[in-house]
Amino acid sequence: MTSTSLDRSFGRPVLSGSTRRCATTVGSFRVVSRHLGRVIGLVVAVGASACAAAAGPQPAGANPSPLSVEVCSVKAETQVDEALGESTIKVTTPTWVDDLYTCDYQFPQGTIILSVKELSSAAETTAYFNQLGVNLGNKQTLFGLGQGGFLTDNGSVVVRKDWKVLLVDSTALKAPIATNHSLSGTPAETVASVIMACWAGD
């Protein structure tokens, strides 16, 4: 098994196919807990930003998709920093192995790991999504994110969109990140909302 390091520069031709830019203004996202019956308003005002676009669900291939690449891009880093109100020290060079695209967002308080698992069918995606719920614990359903999401027992967030599953793993944070005053929810929820905001139109 080999791990491939990839260029983080969004829009740079690091894989086959092409990406196009779309301007997105991130609106209000509501994360509703069925268990607690509460509403968390997530408002990420980041202005016009670049988003990758894809024509419907795409099966996993030899290279990561534009949407996966976007998660670890400089553009995404900027949006995450603005949403959290905290600047990253660095975002590590992404890796691509076993159809999993991964990078670390390193903050003074610790690390948030972002990964996207690419699958090849709706059935595969459902099975992988559900298995993460078993492995990590499905503590709380999150509405308004992608096509289904949940908060794990350890405070991480899992979200599915088409044939991809995003995991925002916040377990390596050594100290809390006080999110932007206009937001509520955990750092993992905020980061997941930022990524889904850019994926929403695809």
Q: Contact at 8 Å (CB) between 113 and 119?
A: no
Q: What is the pLDDT of residue 184?
A: 57
Give 10-residue mean pLDDT values along the chain (202 residues): 52 36 35 34 36 68 93 94 93 97 96 97 97 96 93 95 96 78 74 88 48
The total of other beta-carbon atoms located within 10 Å of residue 123's CB is 10
DSSP calls for 19-75: ---EEE---EEEEEETTTTEEEEEE----SEEE---SS-----SS--HHHHHHTSHH
The pLDDT assigned to 58 comes to 85
Report the b/e string of 27-63 with b at 16+ CB within 10 A.
eebebeeeeeeeebebebebeebbbbbbeeebebeeb
Question: d(Cα 39, Cα 37) in Å, to the nearest integer?
Answer: 7
Answer yes or no: are the C-beta atoms of 198 and 178 closer than 8 Å: no
Beta bridge partners of 118: 164
- 51-107 confidence digits (pLDDT tens): 444 457 888 989 999 999 999 999 999 999 999 999 999 999 999 999 999 999 999
Q: What is the pLDDT of residue 174?
A: 86
| Tens of pLDDT, residues 53-66 | 445 788 898 999 99
CB-based burial label for 18 (10 Å; 0-12, 13-18, 19+): exposed
- pLDDT score at 57: 86
